[in-house]
Structure formats: C-alpha cells, structure tokens
Structure 1
Amino acid sequence: MAVPSRGRGVAGWSGPGEGPSEHALAWATRGFTVALRCGGVAAAIVAAAVDDGTGISRTWQLAVFGGLVVWAGLFSVTVARRGLTLPLVAGDTAAVSLALLAQPRLVPVSAVVDETTWAIMLAGTAVYVALLAAGQVTGLLLASAVIAAYMTGVPAETSQVRSLIVQAVGVSAIMWLLRRGGRRADVIVADRDRERRQAMVEAARRADERTYRSQVHDSVLSTLTMVASGAVPADSPGLRKDARRALRVMERFSGDALDGDGAPVDLSERLRGLIADQSTRVRVDLVLARGGDAGGIEVPEAVAVAITDAAAEALRNVARHSGASRAWVRAEQDDGSVTVTVLDGGRGFEPARVPAARHGIRYSIVERMAVAGGRATVTSRPGAGTGITLRWPRG
C-alpha cells in the first residue's frame, strides 16, 4: 500500500485558506441544502399531481420525477458522508437544469401563464443550493446556468424569470456579507490566539527559570556551601552523590537549553524509538524524506522532546479513537525547518466540535509545540481520516 502524502484524504473542498468561519458556515448550510433539495422535489411532485395534465406527458413526468427522487436521495446521503463538495453542487445544478429543459413535456402552458408552475419552485431551490454551498463566483455561475435552463425550457412567456434573478442577486449579496464578516472575525480570533500563545510561551520560560533557580539553590549552592565550610569530608560518598546531582542540574538547565538551543540531537532516531515503543494495536510506518535518510534530522533537545511527545499523543489518539489499524509518521527537513506529520485513515472527526474539556490535542499537541517555538495543525473530516502536522520553527 502506498504511503499517503501529507494531508491526503482530509483536506476540505474550500482549500487550505479556509478559516473557522467558513467551516462553521459550511456545517450550518448542510442540513438546509438537504431540506431544500428534498423539499423542492417533493413540492414539485405534489404540484404536478394536481395539474390538469393538458398538453403534457405523464410518462415523461414519471420518468423525470423518478430521476429527481433518486438524485435527492443520493444528494442527501453524500452530504451526510462527505459534506457539500463542488462536484456534488455542480451535479445538483445539472440534474435540475435537465428537468427544466424538458418543461414543454412536463408543464402545462396554462400553469406557466397563471404563474403556478412547479418548475419555478424547483429552479429556486437549485439557485439557493448553488449560492449557499459554492463560493461567490462559482455559485453565481451555477445559479446563472439554472436560470438559463429555466428560460430555455419554459413553454410560454412568464415574469417569474425576474424573481429567479432577484433571488440569485439577493442570496449572493447575503452570502458575500456573511463570508466577509466571517473572515474579519477569523483575523480577530487569530490575533487573539497569537497573543495568547506568546503569553503562554513567556509563562513557560519564566516557569523554567524559576525551576532552574530553585534546583540550583537546592543542589548546586548547597553542595558548594558544604565544600566551602568543610562540614563534610571531601571524600564523603554523600558529597560525591550530591555533586553528581548538581552537575546533572547544571547540564539540564544550561543557558542554551533555556534559550531553546542546546546541543542538537537526531530527531529521526527519537521517532524510531517512539514507534518501537508503540502498542501493537496499530501498525506505524516511518517515512523520512529530504534530509531524514542522509544525515538525520538534527534539532535542539527541547524541540526533539516536544515533537516526539506530541507525535506520541497523536499516535495514542489513533489507537484510542480512529478505529484504524495503520498509521504513518512522515518527517522531513527543508531550509532549516522540520515537519513531522502523523496520518491515519480512520473514521476522522470534526475538530471544531471537540469539547473544550478534551485536553489531548489542545494541550498535549498544540500548546506543547507552541512552547517549543513551533506550531501544530489538525486536519480531519468524518470518514476521511486525520492528519496532524508538527512544524518547527513556527512557519
């Protein structure tokens, strides 16, 4: 089986630039578009059934409405499983447009003249679905295709074309305002989160400094004081033990370590050890690319610890929650940056819907990387697996 590339199977339709507001808007419109499609088809069938049937083919009506019922069911199931994708919305436009082009065989001329035709309801739902689910320009193009199909197929002149145009322009303007406001909110939230992460990094640095001072006081200074005072013989086993402990404290809390530098270590070896220690419930494959196979991936000790611990938490989540039997860890070094990605093909989830009480991803992965000067991103979707990307330094 080929190793999946980074982000495969988990990226959303709107692309990597999509913000939280766009995710929320897409989630909110799912149920509404399904109701529009199913309700529009049902209303069209009821309206067609009460028509007098003059000048139309009931056989054609049965065939077209049967196809629309099948499409409405397929549309609903696909939205529930994969969300509103561009091919699905384009397919909805095509299905409704084909039905509208067949109006001369489906819609009585009298119903068009009286402006009581079911075709206008069906066209209206397709316009709404296109503008709610697709982007601004794409939605307008799809809505225009529906209006053109209605105008081409309608068997008599009608003023209801204007209502479709007004609907398209109005809904497009509303969606533009919603997306614009959402993007502004995303910027505000991103700035706030950046400030919070910076404050968290500074708090962690101060905590390290306090720990360093307290351990220097408890071990190094006390040992030196005993030696200087002569209270303990120089060859005392207890003094040698205290001196070794003090030396370990000095090595651990060296000035370089506090600054996030220190002697570099091989991250690839740390990852190999991590995978070797994992539970056998999930098979984990390690892929080293661009720098990983040649000279190793060298990072400061503190960074290696943060990345390894975050990857370990990600693999534990795979074993606990994903339902997958296999996962991949991909590590690469490029132009001074290091990226480690943990991928699985499991059941996936909606990151925005994770309860605030769940601390695994937020604290054990995201904030752990932030403290080390890096960043972590989580990409997932129900039924499409999960990808967790750890990057240092923060890019």
Structure 2
Amino acid sequence: MSHVAPRSPLAYRKVPARRRRTSLLVPASPHELGMNSYRILLLANICHGLVAVALFLESLTILEDQLRSFERWHLVFLVALLLNACVLLLQSVRHRVRTWPVLVAPVLVALAVVTLPLAWTGEAPPQDPWVEPFILLAACATVVVWSLELAVAYLTSVTVLYVLVMVRTAAVPDIMDVLFDATSRIAFGVVLVVLISFVLRGGKNADQVYADAIAQELQLTRSRSQAEEQERLDRLIHDNVMAALLDAGRAPGPVQRRTRELAQRALDVLVFEERRAQGKDTTMVHTLLDDLLESLSPWRNRVRFNSITPYIRPPGEPRPLIPVETAQALVQAITEAVSNSARHSGTEVTFVTMDGGACPPTAINPEGFYLRFQVVDRGRGFQPRSIDSRRLGVRVSILGSVRQVGGDVEVDSAPGRGTSVTILWPRDARP
C-alpha cells in the first residue's frame, strides 16, 4: 500500500509559439515565454523600432526625387511603418512584448512593394525607392514572430518582386547588375535572419535548461519530503499499532477493553494517514488560521493583522472544510511572502489580511466559499518583471505551491511603492 500520493511534476516552462500566435493582442510575460526569451524579444522590439525610425529619417532625404516617379499616396505605407515603430518603442519602454506590431511591419512592406507599379507615374526613378531597405527589416521581423523558413521565403519572394518592379520602371535596365544586386541582397538577408534565429534558439534552450533545473530541484525536494513522510508514518505505526499488539499479547485471559481501544486507535491512525495520502483529508478554516498564526510566530514583532475573518459562514451553519494539502500550501505561501518582506522590504512592519466568504460553488471548491489573503509592506518594492530567476521563494514557494492546489497569486510592486501579494483560493471563485 502506498502511503504517499504521487503528485504531478511541477515545472515552469514557456508557452508554445503556436499559442502566442493565436493571441496576438495579448502581451506576453516572462512566465509564459521564459526569462531569456522574453529579454531577447524585448531587445529585438527595441532594435526594430530604432532601425525603423532611422530608415524613415534616411528616406526623407530622397523623397523629393521619389515624388516625380511615384504618387504621393504611396507614402502612407512609410508613415504607417513610422507609427508602428513608435508603438514598438512605447511598448518596450513599458516592458511589454506584443506580437502584432512586429507582424504589422512585414505586411506593410509587402503591400508597399506590391503597390509600387500602381503608384508609378511613368518616369524612371533616379534611385531606389524608400521601400528597399525596409525589406530586410521586415524579414528580420518575420523570423522573430514566426520561423526561419518563413523568413527566408518572405525575403526571397518580396525581393524578387521588388527587382521585377525596378526592372519595369528603369529606363534601360542592366540585367546582370539587377541579378547580382538581387542575389547579394537575398544572401545578406539570409545570413542575418539565420543569426537572429540562432539567438532566439539560444534563448529558448537556456529557458529549457532552467526549467529542467527547477523541475529537478522540485523533484529532489519532493523525494526528501516523501522520505520524511514515510519516516513519520513508520513512527506512528510503531507507537500505535505495535503498542496495541504488545498490550494484546501480554494481557492474560480474554481481550480487555483497553486492548480494543488501542487497536481501534491504531486503525484510526492508519485510516487518517491513508486519507491524507490520497488527498481526501480535510481540516477546518479556523484550524488553518491557527496554523497560520503559529507559522508567523517568528515574525510576531513585525506582523500587523489588518483584518482576520475566522468565520467564513454565519454561526450555526456547518463550518467549511478545506483539504489539508491546500491549507499547508496557503500557509507556506503566506509565510514565504512575510519572510521575503522581512528580508527585502527595508521596513519594520508587514500587514497581513485574511478574509473570505460564501460564493457560488466552483469546480475546485464545490462547498461554495473562498479565501483571500494579502501581505502588504510599504518598503522599497521591486519590478516583478525583472525579478532574479534564481529566487525560488517567489516562483516555487508562493506561485508554484498556490497554483498547484488550485489558487491564484497576484504580485503588485514597483520601486519605491512597496509590495502587495494577494492570494485567492480557489482561483475560479467569484467573490
């Protein structure tokens, strides 16, 4: 009989690229992409925006000559590319990574190339149109958003189309020069997108290595916990079952009442441990509160309780029950949040709030109540997006443990404005 229920492996892995592409308007986060991939994409967005602005400024010097060969309405694509670059830079300043602005650039460049024959006035252009340097930038954006293969296909097709347009608009085209120019552009672009692809792949591999390290660390911690749990269970069996058997063996005559009581106690212990191992054991919410107060006792001098709600249901109604594993995870997360506040906030006071109440029954908690905890300090704060990936206290002890039992965690902090950690269980509750 197994006394420790197996748990699903807990690992922090990035969301597949397919999911990112189906939610283009949703900003990505380091938890979804992985810290290294997130930083690379953020840097790529900044470079894209700066290069696009530089190309726009360079295009201003040739627009006077271009207006004799191409209609003015064709400049709408140039202005759109500038606005798109501004959006990328604005999102980068706010430390956000969105997919749609990067995807807009290749679309605008392709439309600009396709509409060049329509905008041609019939006069041969004195030099290459403004759209030519943007083709390479669009190919780089394609490899960031999609894949290397699609970027190469995009670069080749758009460049060939652009060369055909230039052959048509040129007064006396030199076929050899045109072919050499097109080949050199494609070759240089392929080398560049391959380098960008290697950088992106390196970031993904680094995130994978980190995720595997986290998973191994959690597995090692879980193995130690299972060994300690088995040792504790062995002591319980020895202290209860063996005591009952020894008493029954030494008692003369028929089985005495005391022997039956000890045997029943031993059976109750085994039943309790079996239910606990299967995740069926429960505890009351006020017992959870007692465990929380005891767990926070090392910080009794700094913790201030803003509000504590010990009774989730009105007096006279059955007291709500919560799984023991869930109660332990919540207590562990709150204790870790208070510990982080004591170590990093730079203040002497941490405020703790616990409330809850009735709500519609949910899939995670059919009993129909919710619990909400908040740990707040007014210290130096930090930037949640730039948190050190090696700090396992936030990622494992708080986020990981709460989400594993069906809860949700929201960390709100900023430099100089303190930190607020809000824990809600269950996550599908509607208070």
Question: Per the shorter chain, which TM-score range?
Answer: 0.5 to 0.7
| CA distance 1:36–1:258, shift in 2 (3 Å) | closer
Q: Note closer, same or farther for the CA distance 1:79–1:380 as it changes in structure 2 (3 Å cut).
A: farther
Q: Is the 8 A contact 1:41 1:72 kept in 2?
A: yes
Which amino acid in structure 2 is aligned with residue 126 of structure 1? A
In the TM superposition, what is the alpha-carbon distance from 1:44 to its structure 2 partner? 4.6
Structure 2 CA distance, aligned partners of 1:106 and 1:46? Answer: 24
Which residue is 2:317 aligned to? none
Distance 2:126 2:326 in 1: 76
2:67 equivalent among 38, 56, 66:
56
Q: Which runs of 5+ in 1 are unaligned?
A: 1-10, 223-246, 287-296, 322-327, 335-339, 343-347
Candidates 66, 88, 99, aligned match of 1:75: 88
- Given the superposition, is the C-alpha separation of residues 333 and 52 from structure 1 closer, same or farther in structure 2, using an over 3 Å criterion? closer
TM-score (norm 1): 0.53
Instruction: Measure the CA separation in 2 of the matches of 1:221 and 1:149.
Output: 86
The answer as to 2:105 corresponding to 1:92 is yes
Partner of 2:54: 42
SS state of the match for residue 111, structure 1?
A: coil
Indicate conservation of the 8 Å contact 1:306/1:369, yes or no.
no
Q: Percent of aligned pairs with the same residue?
A: 11
29, 35, 57: which one aligns with 2:41: 29
Residues 1:15 and 2:31 aligned together: no
Residues of 2 paired with 1:180 and 1:96: CA distance? 26
Q: Is the 8 Å Cα contact of residues 59 and 130 (structure 2) preserved in structure 1?
A: yes
Matched with 1:362 is 396
Shift in Å, 1:182: 5.4
CA-to-partner distance for each residue in 1:330-354, whole Å, 9 max, x for gaps?
98548xxxxx999xxxxx9438x34
> Counterpart amino acid of 2:87?
L
Deviation at 1:125, TM superposition (A): 1.6
Q: Which has the higher contact order (CA 8 A, sep 6+)?
A: 1
What's the counterpart of residue 170 of structure 1?
Answer: 191
Distance change in 2, residues 1:188/1:87 (3 Å): closer
One-letter amino acid of the counterpart of residue 350, structure 1: R
Task: Report the Cα offset of residue 124 of structure 1.
Answer: 1.6
- In 2: Cα distance, 1:171 partner to 1:218 partner: 71
How far is the alpha carbon of 1:200 from its aligned partner?
Answer: 0.7
State the secondary structure of the residue aligned to 2:134.
helix
Shift of 1:133: 3.4
Contiguous gaps of at least 5 residues in structure 2 = 1-14, 22-27, 244-264, 293-304, 313-319, 339-344, 346-355, 365-369, 373-382, 414-420, 427-431
- Report if aligned partners of 2:34, 2:207 keep a CA contact under 8 Å in 1: no
Instruction: For residue 359 of structure 1, give the secondary structure of its aligned residue in structure 2.
Output: helix
Q: 1:120 aligns with which of 124, 132, 149?
A: 132
Q: Give the corresponding residue for 2:7.
A: none
Going from structure 1 to structure 2, the CA distance change for 1:121 and 1:350 (only over 3 Å counts) comes to same
> Which piece of structure 1 moves more, 29-38 or 175-184?
175-184
The RMSD of aligned alpha carbons is 6.6
Distance in 2 separating the partners of 1:105 and 1:341: 70
CA offset at residue 257 of structure 1? 6.3
Matched, 1:350 2:385: yes
Cα distance in 2, alignment partners of residues 197 and 14 from structure 1: 28
Alignment check: 8 A CA contact 1:131 1:175 kept: yes
Amino acid at match of 1:15: R
User: Does the 8 Å CA contact 2:332/2:397 hold for their aligned counterparts?
Assistant: no
Alpha-carbon distance in structure 2 between the residues aligned to 1:310 and 1:332: 24
CA contact (8 A) 1:131 1:168 kept: no
**Which TM-score applies when normalising by structure 2?**
0.50
Contact 1:331 1:341 in 2 (8 A): no
